[in-house]
Amino acid sequence: MAILLIGIAMLKIDDYVTDVLMRDLVGHDKRPVSFLVYLWLAAEEQRRGAEVQISYQELAESIGVSKSSAQTAVGWLVRRKLLNVSKATVTATPCYAVLSPWRTREGK
């Protein structure tokens, strides 16, 4: 379990995220923004204790990328089944749930 210090809070991250997922998203898929989005949303979800509702613009500003890069990254994470996105209506602000599919595999 990796631990990152962010501000005063300590963030616990599965070793899988830094040992495998980072290499997979950044090296193999060539999508480093996807890794940043995943990491930021995981940290925010852990801090809040709930899913994260945030606009693409706010998400982009939070990690320092363009809005279109954040949108593309979210789409890739959904495709890879690492993120679930839901909306109350078509125009509502998205709500993100970070998924950890490797946890279910370990239990098998």
Alpha helices, DSSP H, located in 1-108: 15-16, 22, 32-48, 56-63, 67-79, 101-106
What integer pLDDT is reported at residue 32 of this predicted model?
96
Partners of residue 86 on adjacent β-strands: 95
CA dihedral angle for residue 103, residue 38, residue 76, residue 19, rounded to 10 degrees:
-60
List Cα–Cα distances, 74 to 5, 8, 35, in angstroms.
24, 27, 10
What integer pLDDT is reported at residue 28 of this predicted model?
93
What integer pLDDT is reported at residue 108 of this predicted model?
46
Question: pLDDT tens digits for the chain (108 residues)?
Answer: 555 555 556 778 889 998 999 999 999 999 999 999 999 999 999 999 999 999 999 999 999 999 999 999 999 999 999 999 999 999 999 999 999 998 875 554
- Give the pTM: 0.85
Domains recognised in the chain with CATH numbers = 2-106 (1.10.10.10)
Q: Which of these, 60, 84, 88, lies nearest to 72 by C-alpha position? A: 60
